[in-house]
Amino acid sequence: MAKPLSDYEILLGVSGGIAAYKAAQLCSLLVQQGAAVTVAMTENARRFVQPLTFRTLSGRRVYTDTFAAENEYDIHHISLTERADLLVVAPATANILAKAAAGICDELLSNLLCSADSAILAAPAMNRRMWENPATRRNVEILRQFGYHFISPESGHLACGDEGIGRMSEPADILACIIEMLSQKKPKRHLL
């Protein structure tokens, strides 16, 4: 039976928030649906989940450093985005959203966002006050104008003990959004 994400290349960007553990589940679900998944992690994301987790789930090398090329010709922030059908940022912290909105490229994930050659889907996750902050709201609006897609955070119990909006959407819901987005186009590898 055909899997809905067979032949699609997903670049999964994991930024530093407690919801990074959900990104591991999302990675597993993507692979189960046939996607080839490459993971790029920020330094702060590695404080929550180790790269080994994603390497085990994806069966691929995990990228954590802009300058750790295997050879002098491999420029990760370009080569990784060229083959990706979709760049998914989960969790998308207030920090990474602010960097993307301002065009700041000071680590691998922000470089990937700036050089993306595909659609971008962000799954925000943060404290409710951070989500409701006018700067975050402005950054989300700017990114929507840039063409970013968002799957809104959910309400519920937050890691800090608060209740309210800010929880990253459940991995199954993000997966459904990804399948819907990619069903509209052929995988890049079929276009070559």
**Of 27, 105, 160, 177, catalytic:** 160
3-class SS shares of the chain: helix, strand, coil, % to 5: 45, 20, 35
Closest to 178 measured CA to CA, from 3, 30, 18, 7 = 30
Residue 187's Cβ-count burial label (10 Å; 0-12, 13-18, 19+) is middle
CB 10 within 8 A of CB 37: yes
Collapse the DSSP code of 119 into the 3-class scheme (helix H, G, I; strand E, B; otherwise coil) and give the result.
strand
Place of tokens 């990675």: 27
Q: State yes or no: is 105 an active-site residue.
A: no
Terminal-residue alpha carbon distance, the chain: 25
- Two structure tokens written together for 117: 């050659």
Residue 105 vs residues 14, 66, 145, 174: alpha-carbon distances, Å? 15, 10, 19, 25
Structure tokens at 168: 């990253």
User: What residues act catalytically?
Assistant: 160
